[in-house]
Amino acid sequence: MLTVRAPATSANLGSGFDVFGVALGTPADIVRVERAPETTITVTGAGSEYIPEDPEKNTVGAVAKALNAPARIRIDKGVRPSSGLGSSAASAAAAAVALNALYDRGRSREELVPIAAEGEALVSGEAHADNVAPALLGGFTVVTDEGVTQVDASIPVVACLPDISVSTRDARGVVPESATMDDIVDTVGNAATLAVGMSRNDPDLVGRGMVDAVVTPERTKLIDGYDRVREAALEAGATGVTVSGAGPGILAVCRRQDQREIASAMVDAFDAVGVESRAYQTAVSEGAMLYSDGS
């Protein structure tokens, strides 16, 4: 038996739509695999009742098929589905690492990115790698048609997850089909600022670079209380706040000493609009970790 822990991730980061992603220290999925004549899947944990166990309908099943690696697969969900924290990507990345090792397929982590992304297509309708890349590689990732660029980073963040759901398909449906040249120029500048901030582990630069006037404003309309939560986080010391992935999770970048106050402020702000939530005080961290013998 092999066991892999794969982290939650946050994609887009405001200005990097479908390009940027980061791995988070918590929460995470745990996936255990054993060789078998055919693939079977069992799912437990957060939101498991909403996740199909049919290999033809599960991201992990798609990964097993792509690697030609049938297995008995057990998924313990720590990352809730429809959270904006890369739930399906965590499972897909963990399965890719585990099955690659179980069958000695010899694929590098970079080579596993498109394989795990194919599993993501079952959820979003398209094979996007902005969540699976950081889940596999860790740190901060930049995904383009030419490949993935990765930078190790350890920026402190608070990921606040409200008790509401926003599906990736619905969130993609509100993305504008066009943007003004002014907005494009601003977004490019902000994205460049964010990338420099990640390379320097500078939360001020990263926060400044998260501003986006194209996609984020449309997605915030799907999240009850977003504006109130954002303002509360900024007042508590966050250097930047944006929607995590497709939402409804909200990501606040900060300095470590401000995390607790920011987390409390975000939860209180959601509570003020009648929405329960949970805040993870974490940081940009490592990617999927492989263990053997079920340890």
**14 labeled part of a ligand binding site:** no
Calpha distance 177→219 (Å, rounded): 14
**199 labeled part of a ligand binding site:** no
Among the listed residues 59, 141, 168, 216, the single catalytic one is 168
**84 labeled part of a ligand binding site:** yes
Known catalytic residue at 53: no
**263 labeled part of a ligand binding site:** no
Residue 74 makes CB contacts below 8 A (sequence gap 6+) with: 31, 32, 33, 41, 42, 43, 44
Contact 51, 17 (CB under 8 A): no
Calpha distance 280→7 (Å, rounded): 13
Calpha distance 115→105 (Å, rounded): 12
- Look up tokens 């940081």; give the residue: 283
**285 labeled part of a ligand binding site:** no
Known catalytic residue at 146: no
262 burial (CB, 10 Å; 0-12 / 13-18 / 19+) is: buried
**89 labeled part of a ligand binding site:** yes
Interaxial angle between packed helices 259-272 and 226-235, expressed in degrees from 0 to 180 and rounded to the nearest 10: 150
Among the listed residues 120, 141, 187, 282, the single catalytic one is 120
**83 labeled part of a ligand binding site:** yes
What residues act catalytically?
120, 168
Binding residues: 80-90
Annotated binding site for ATP: 80-90
